[in-house]
Structure 1
């Protein structure tokens, strides 16, 4: 695993993966392919991180810290439509005093993203799924305004003790939903009266309509 020295080097390496299968990448990396992704949901992203030299691991910083670039794999079907929402980060449910859009973790995570689409129809074996054309993205003014608006709406609801009333329909381009390995995981939040209670951890996710728009703009895909 070679850590890329520049944005150009990272992009070059990512472009060289386009057209290869996940089986090709796993073989090169000496990594065993899981039978399915049900219990290995993040496996594709971890494989790409390994092959491209991401060094952040589980630390709270972009995957390529020295470049300030986050890596996001994007499962798509043959028609280039995203198959699922994209996880951004775990949402803090407490300690939000003084946090605003400009200093929040979500904004840092999305400041510069290397998107790697992976053609992943459910009926195609994991080893035969194909890496698509990667692209580098930073939010333009319109995208940032939408993300900031959604983040503010969702964060306000958390602060006001409404976390249990947040559903997928909240947010135009970003949503908040449970993010846990199983339904026994719990984290602290506060109710409307300011009393602490335990609830499922939550995560911020980009909605499909948002990532579909990125594919259309960067790869000229309708």
Structure 2
């Protein structure tokens, strides 16, 4: 039973704050959902559970989770010190038809305008159901953070436009990185080749680096 979408930002934050300190099992039970034994086959389970509890509408559509509020939802697994345990997926990267695409009309820019971060205990030693939700954080990039994101995005997109997508590694970018985004390496999509012709490559996604999201959380909670 999905919850109604929050009518305004105050209601969204009220729902998010009410989850703080609650275990995933409690929320799953309230929604009649079975807790998986582990997340190997259910990688997106926690995010989907939080989306359901908060009334997010977007699902897998390429738009903000709360489009009417201009808010993107991101669950972020953290260790006992509060450090993020993995990079944060933002959106699929366009690999063709990118002429005229600018930072300001990119999906990365759109999604990162305002993010509701929901930290969740991520230590694998804690059974999935017993993991607790942390204090929510509503964040918008500062001018300097936005500048770093823009610079990384533009450099990565330039390499894609030059047909160098297969040379881009996770080390490219200071705060934003490009990585394969598919269930397996057999998945292929069209991209621009070195000669400007279309070639086949693995789908890619934009991810925020751990050091960047750690800085966001540290700045907010310390």
Regarding TM over 0.5, the answer is: yes
- After TM superposition, give the deviation of residue 2 of structure 1 in Å: 2.5
SS in 1 for 2:108: helix
Q: Secondary structure at the match of 1:131?
A: coil
Q: Which residue of 2 aligns with 1:218?
A: 220
The structure 1 segments of at least 4 consecutive aligned residues displaced by more than 4 Å after TM superposition are: none
1:117 paired residue number: 119
What per-residue deviation string (whole Å, max 9, x for no partner) do you get for residues 115-150 of structure 1?
000011011110011100001001110000000000
Structure 2 unaligned spans of 5+: none
Match of 2:90 in 1: 88
Is 1:143 aligned to 2:145, yes or no? yes
- Which residue of 61, 68, 71 corresponds with 1:69? 71
Offset of 1:46 from its aligned partner? Answer: 0.6
Quick check: 2:62–2:91 contact (8 Å CA) kept in 1? no
Which residue is equivalent to 1:190?
192
Q: Is 2:29 aligned against 1:27?
A: yes
Could you tell me which residue of structure 2 aligns to residue 48 of structure 1? 50
The equivalences for 1:164-179 within 5 A come to 164-179=166-181
Kindly provide the CA deviation profile for residues 131-175 of structure 1, in whole angstroms up to 9, marking residues without a partner as x: 000010011100000000000010000000110000011000010
Q: 1:126 aligns with which of 112, 123, 128?
A: 128
Structure 2: distance between partners of 1:212 and 1:121: 16
User: What TM-score results when the alignment is normalised by the length of structure 1?
Assistant: 0.97
Q: Which residue of 2 aligns with 1:107?
A: 109
In the TM superposition, residue 70 of structure 1 has moved relative to its aligned partner by 0.5
What is the aligned-residue RMSD (CA, Å)? 0.8
Partners of 2:33 and 2:89 lie apart in 1 by: 23
